[in-house]
Chain A
Amino acid sequence: MNHQLIANKEFTQTLRDRRFWVAGSVVLLLLLVATWTGFQNYESLALARQKANAAARQTWVNQPEKNPHSAAHFGTFAFRPKSDLSFMDFGLDTYTGASVYLEGHRQNDAKFSQAENATSLIRFGEMTVAFVLQMLIPLLIIFLCFGAFTQEREENTLKILLSQGVSVRSLFWGKVSGYARVIALVVIPALVITSVLLFAQTGFQPAADTLFRMLFFFGIYLFYFLLIIVLSVFVSVRSASSRASLLTLLGLWIVACVALPKATANVGESLFKVPSNYVFQHEIHEDVEKGIDGHNPSNERAKALEKKILAQYGVDSVSQLPVNFDGIVMQEGEIYTSKVYQKHFGALQNTFQKQNSLALLTGFINPYLAVRNVSMGLSGSDYAHFLDFKAKAEDYRFKMVERLNNEMKTFSKTGDWDKKVSRDFWAKTPDFQYQMPSVGWVLTTHWVSLAALLVFSVGLLWGINKSLKTLKIV
């Protein structure tokens, strides 16, 4: 009962405060602008990539008659489709490549990131929905809550309140729920609009997975806001004056949202070194030439293969083979180089993961970092989704090249590089269709960040419980 009363009082009082209306409408406006511009940007990018994919497929299908191996060199492109939710959180999409060139003999890295088109402005971030939700709404919460207890103390109303028989605990949680209602006033309209946009874009028939992603996305942010409200009211309880409370909270905000993300990423990079592109390509080349273990050079591998194939077909020389030996050699080569590429790209991704682990672990004391990771994951714009795309594109590339090599093997004789396959062969190659992983995959990928949020909340609750018991009111 008391709890409700206090919540109502905070809610009504805030609504009567003109400053809240100003700050709240500014944030809501920014949120709407971010939604709108994010959606525009998403739409144009999604369309461009869709068109580019169609164009790449068209080019592939319209190839003239040619030798299958020429087609492997000609290759095709896989453009990464934008995920449905990425208009809310661009995540790392701006910095990861948009397309991969799929050709024989080699795995290319994704190229052409959006960041390359930008001016140095890009280093100041992008005002996406996630930017507003992660950074600006916490600020609004801070401005709202910093005086929650200190003001009562300064106006000498705290003693009176407590003499009425209300416990500090219910005063605390009553205030928290009052502020939570206020924040909901700002956030709910924006969430409604984003969901309408999302539904409209999928023709009001969103996939179940998209729906779940969206629900989790909203859920995680609502939890985040609640956490910030509790934290802010707690700082207010512990502060001697409103001024001290405000400065502490703003200091925490700057450390958590500006300094720590940058510092952790920078230290991570300094600790774990990645090779330069030159060294990376050089090592791949060496491994292909000398063998992954360094004791299996390419010419010996070729000899061994020849011996094996001759034995398999029971003939003495390559020219007697009923199949095209070049096709077999190239396919074996493809399998081998794929292993080499996998090894090196794997090592690189491992190093990146080590670099990022610092920020990941800091999530246990900085909910901003934890929420940032989960939010990117749910929007499908984190590094894991990018790697998933790359892996699927690589899988497609390998199968495409394998198909071409097998065709080469069966339809012509060794040494015949001139025989061409007919045009209808190109259309028979399956098209590349990227399928996003499910929401369950996202949650398991980001379990550390989710655990971090949980641990932080439990720690905060424990701290509050302990502190409220021993609190000196006056």
Chain B
Amino acid sequence: MKQFLLILKNDWLILRRGKALKIVVTLAVAAGLYSLFYGKTVIDRQRETISTLQKDEQTRLDSLEAWVKLDTSIAGNKAKWETATSAYEVNVPEGYRYAIYAPSDITPLSIGMRDLFPYYQDVWGRAIYRQIFQQEIANPQKLAVGHFDWAFVVIFILPLLLIVLSYSLLSSEKEQGTYSLLRAQPVSLRQIVLAKLSLRAALMVGFLAFISLLSVFVLGINFSKNGGLWLRFFGVALVYGLFWLAVIFAVVSFQKSSAYNALTLLAVWIVLIVVLPAFTQQWLTVSQPIDRSVFENLVRDEYSIVRPDSVVLKDYYARHPDRYFPKDTAKRDPELRGYYARNELVDLTLGPLVQQYEAQVQQREATVETLNWLLPAVNVQELFNGLANTSTAAHRDYLHQIKAFHSRWNDFFLPKTFRNERLTTSDYALFPKWKFQPLNQHFSVTMGLLKLLLPAGLLLGLGWIKLR
């Protein structure tokens, strides 16, 4: 133990006096700080948009609510009162609601798919499939290049920094001629390598802890609410770093030259982080093709259905007998029953196609999840996205929540429209409200961590044997 500490201390002195550590620390801290700043900028802009939307929604609903109470005997009030008491007007053009995909406190750490998929959706009473296929305005070149967020720094840059600090761990002793001197001491090779590696591990933990703690203040993470998420995020980063230390340990244990180690480690980095994921992506698009063009061609308005109103309505009443009032034959202006029946038909036509499409995407995700045993970087990206609630699965769940809200929203207003009832003041308190349920609070990282720890264990074992 004493020798272990001695080696550790001396190695620290050497590192501290060299140039490499200064460069690495500067780069690491700069990249880490920039990533926090970048994530904060992106998510703050989204928050700004969200608050504009919420204000807009509040203003619309407040004025509608005020209009319901207007005295209709005054000439100018009639139109306003009619708008505010019409179930259709509130359901569709005037009272539409925003379904907001609120960012979590740790979302800025891993922005994931949040730039590609929309984070808010205006929900109107018309067909939902005419509304949800939207992309937020984004620069395609930026989308293609991706984020410089904390997840990127951990996944791409951290292993590089570890490699730079450790590729000549043992070989430098040989190349400087101090190896035989060191071996003449009563320490084993394993002790030497482990002591030096522990020093790198300590530096890594220090760096990860520093930026992670800083993120609590910079991003204003509410620890009592999201402390668990933050801890798991930190844990995943640690285990990923450990995996790379295991890779380094295994390579160093072969006791080759510094140049050989550097080359091998960088080759491993390039294969695991650059080539394999890109190759898998390409292979997936060919082996599991997804073609949406069939339903893309169908996303049109309700009048694209050629059938006359009466036919569409007949089927509609069969599905909703509670909305069928044969005795009510009075002419209505506007007549909206056909409109709603048509909109539902659009959703019914598209529903199965969209479901099939979602199943195809899920199939791809399942394949990737299995392949993640070989793709540590992708695995960690998905763990980060899962914790930050920015994964494709989280987005799909958000879409399902929107659909469910759309149903609740329509179930409230449509019976009134079909009964030809006006809205009252008391109805306003009963309007369905959007409540977002994030998926990430219960996101489990166990399986993902196992996919890192098991290979790491094997690599450590290999190194251990090799260093005998």
Binding site for B on A (CB under 8 A): 30, 33-34, 37-38, 40-41, 44, 48-49, 51-52, 55-56, 59, 64, 70, 73-75, 77, 79, 91-92, 94-99, 101, 109, 111-128, 131, 135-136, 139, 143, 242-243, 246-247, 250, 254, 258-259, 261-263, 265-266, 268-270, 273-280, 348, 352, 355-356, 359, 383, 386
Among A49, A274, A386, max chain B CB count under 10 A is at: A274
Are A123 and B278 within 8 A (Cβ)?
no
Measured between beta carbons, the chain A residues less than 8 angstroms from B134 are: 111, 277
What 1/0 mask marks residues of chain B from 87 to 101 whose CB sits below 8 Å from any chain A CB?
Answer: 000000000000000
Among B134, B157, B273, B290, max chain A CB count under 10 A is at: B290
B contact residues, total (Cβ < 8 Å): 82
Chain A nearest CB: distance from B295 CB in Å?
Answer: 9
Measured between beta carbons, the chain A residues less than 8 angstroms from B285 are: 37, 41, 114, 118, 126
Are A278 and B53 within 8 A (Cβ)?
yes
What 1/0 mask marks residues of chain B from 290 to 310 whose CB sits below 8 Å from any chain A CB?
Answer: 111110110111011010000
Are B112 and A348 within 8 A (Cβ)?
no
What residue of chain A has the Cβ atom nearest to residue B372's Cβ?
Answer: A121
In chain B between 300 and 332, which residues have their CB closer than 8 angstroms to a CB of chain A? 300-301, 303-304, 306
Are A112 and B144 within 8 A (Cβ)?
no
Are B303 and A95 within 8 A (Cβ)?
no
Provide the bound-state CA to CA distance between A33 and B281, in Å.
13
Main secondary structure of the interface of A (DSSP, over half): helix
Measured between beta carbons, the chain B residues less than 8 angstroms from A273 are: 45
What 1/0 mask marks residues of chain B from 228 to 244 whose CB sits below 8 Å from any chain A CB?
Answer: 00000000000000000
Are B263 and A117 within 8 A (Cβ)?
no
Provide the bound-state CA to CA distance between A80 and B445, in Å.
40
- Tell me if B427 is interfacial: C-beta within 8 Å of chain A: no
Are A246 and B262 within 8 A (Cβ)?
yes
Sampled A-B contacts (10; CB under 8 Å):
A38-B282, A112-B296, A121-B281, A124-B278, A124-B377, A243-B259, A262-B147, A265-B145, A276-B49, A277-B134
Measured between beta carbons, the chain B residues less than 8 angstroms from A131 are: 278
Binds A, one of B113-121, B176-184, B451-459: B113-121
Give which listed residue, A40, A95, A127, contacts B279 with CB less than 8 A. A127
Are A92 and B140 within 8 A (Cβ)?
yes
Q: Which 8 A-B pairs have the closest CB atoms?
A: A124-B277, A52-B293, A127-B278, A95-B140, A276-B49, A265-B145, A92-B140, A266-B148
Provide the bound-state CA to CA distance between A101 and B296, in Å.
9
Main secondary structure of the interface of B (DSSP, over half): helix
Among A79, A116, A117, A121, max chain B CB count under 10 A is at: A121
Contact status of A352 and B139, CB under 8 A, knowing A73-B303, A111-B134, A124-B274: yes
Measured between beta carbons, the chain B residues less than 8 angstroms from A123 are: 112, 146-147, 381
Provide the bound-state CA to CA distance between A95 and B133, in Å.
14
Measured between beta carbons, the chain B residues less than 8 angstroms from A263 are: 34, 148
Among B53, B137, B360, B365, max chain A CB count under 10 A is at: B137
- Tell me if B136 is interfacial: C-beta within 8 Å of chain A: yes
- Tell me if B61 is interfacial: C-beta within 8 Å of chain A: no
Measured between beta carbons, the chain B residues less than 8 angstroms from A52 are: 293-294, 296-297
Contact status of A143 and B296, CB under 8 A, knowing A30-B275, A263-B148, A274-B139: no
Give which listed residue, B136, B143, B262, B282, contacts A95 with CB less than 8 A. B143
